[in-house]
Amino acid sequence: MSKKRVVITGLSAITPLGGDVAASWSNLLAMKSGVGPITLFDASKFSTRIAGEVKGFEPESYGISPKLAKRMDRFVQLAVAAGLAVIRDSGLEVTDANAHRIGCMLGVGLGGLSTIELFHSRLVEAGPSKVSPFMIPMLISNMAPGQIAIQASLKGTNVVLTSACSSGLHAIGHAYCEILLGRCDAMVTGGVESTITPMGVSGFTALKALSSRNEAPEKASRPFDRDRDGFVIGEGGGMFVVESLEHARARGASIHAEIIGFGAACDAYHMTAPDENGAGLAQAMRNALAEADLPPEAIDHINAHGTSTQLNDLCETRSIKSVFGRHAYKIAICANKSQTGHLLGGAGGMESVFSALSLETGIVPGTMNLENPAPECDLNYMADGPKKLDPQYVLCNSAGFGSTNVSMLYKKWEG
């Protein structure tokens, strides 16, 4: 039985670099940074006071009514804004006849921390009568795909996946599987996150995971650089509409790129640290290549997880060398987090949108702040900025706490 072909027909992004795909992509290629001082709360007493915030986000400008916005945590607002935008971009029409064949599957790492913090304070200060009946529906992670489905009348599969920082990419992989298995004809998928809150920042600070380069925020995220001192927390995300090729062609949809492989694997090693050789991520990449029936030498671009932490960057580099051997040195590798910070559960969604745009435009983005490569980090990380390289295939990588790893393989659309 021949495998269905799955294509990407819609793109959306709300990131620290811009409120839509065009602004985010333009600023990415211009090597601008979306990292700056935290404004979402008073961080003056924190050792880390910088983040990649989505600037000037107004839910109403994305079609969310003020009344509805008040009943959503910020991560849900961002999800609905991106979800409605990606449906518009795809030109997909949802009707009574096809709604049950269109689903939504998103990745969210943590859910509504800001809502938990708000109502915990009210509980402690004023008692249980001051806790809103909307608290639980505001904070649970599956409200991101749920609210998109409600607003857009999507009645197919509706699921949230939570796998820490690989949530968004896992969601895309499983949405791809829904299409392959014929369970849906089209899916809204990707990842979103908004945890720039006192709990979020203090929690990652306690893990010694965050950069404290507060005086130069734009220089703080330094994937693969010798002087990296941790990641920068970010918010936002990116989404696709994915469809079977038959469905896309039947409605005359424009196609951005094709999905040809999904690989997942586990280090089974540690709660927060990757295997020192990157064995799980290496296996995830091998699995994606095997599904696509491609040799390693076919890959010309990797959108790296590239978090700017000591362990991740070294282990990801080792994993790439393990899979690709000498060919690893010929691959153009970029780390979008150098400009956006780490969107946690939203990272894989955003980076997949940028991967699709690389295939569509032929431009591979650069990696900022890579001034002195760390020992063993000696691959081509595009430190000198974006280039027109016309990649045919791109692997997009994510990894997360709990030893989880995922790699998606995208192909240039050639009709």
Please compute the mean of the pLDDT values over residues 115-132 and round it to a whole number: 95
Catalytic residues: 165, 305, 342
pLDDT exceeds 80 at position 2: no
Q: What is the pLDDT of residues 4-13, one digit of tens each?
A: 999 999 999 9
DSSP 8-state class, residue 88: H
Q: Which amino acid is at 340?
A: T
- Mean per-residue pLDDT, 238-254: 98
Q: CA–CA separation, 70 vs 72, rounded Å?
A: 6
pLDDT digits 0-9 by tens, 34-64: 999 999 999 999 999 999 999 999 999 999 9
pLDDT one-digit tens code per residue, 209-238 = 999 999 999 999 999 999 999 999 999 999
Using the predicted structure, report yes or no on whether residue 271 has a pLDDT greater than 70: yes
Q: How many CB atoms lie within 10 A of CB 326?
A: 8
Q: Whats the size of the chain, residue-wise?
A: 415
Which backbone phi and psi does 51 adopt, to 5 degrees?
Answer: -165, 170
Q: What is the mean pLDDT of residues 89-97?
A: 97
Q: What angle do CA 235, 176, 191 make, to 5 degrees?
A: 5
For every residue of 283-296, DSSP letters joined together read HHHHHHHHHHT--G
> Is the whole-model pTM more than 0.85?
yes
The CA distance from 350 to 73, in Å, is 20
Which residues, at least 6 apart from 152, have a Cβ–Cβ distance to it below 8 Å? 83, 84, 87, 94, 104, 188
- Residue matched to tokens 């829904």: 178
Strand partners, 210: 231
Of the candidates 153, 101, 166, 95, the one whose C-alpha atom is nearest the C-alpha of residue 400 is: 166
DSSP lists the bridge partners of residue 362 as none
pLDDT in tens, 272-304: 888 888 999 999 999 999 999 999 999 999 999
Contact indicator for 339, 32 with CB cutoff of 8 Å: yes
pLDDT value for 332:
98
The pLDDT value recorded for residue 407 is 98
Instruction: Quote the pLDDT of residue 273.
Output: 87
Quick one: pLDDT band at residue 327, thresholds 50, 70, 90? very high
Q: Does position 159 have pLDDT exceeding 80, yes or no?
A: yes
Domains of the chain: 6-250 (3.40.47.10), 262-412 (3.40.47.10)
Q: Which long-range contacts (CB under 8 A, 24 or more apart) does 65-71 make?
A: 71/134, 71/137, 71/138
* Model confidence band, residue 334 (pLDDT cutoffs 50, 70, 90): very high
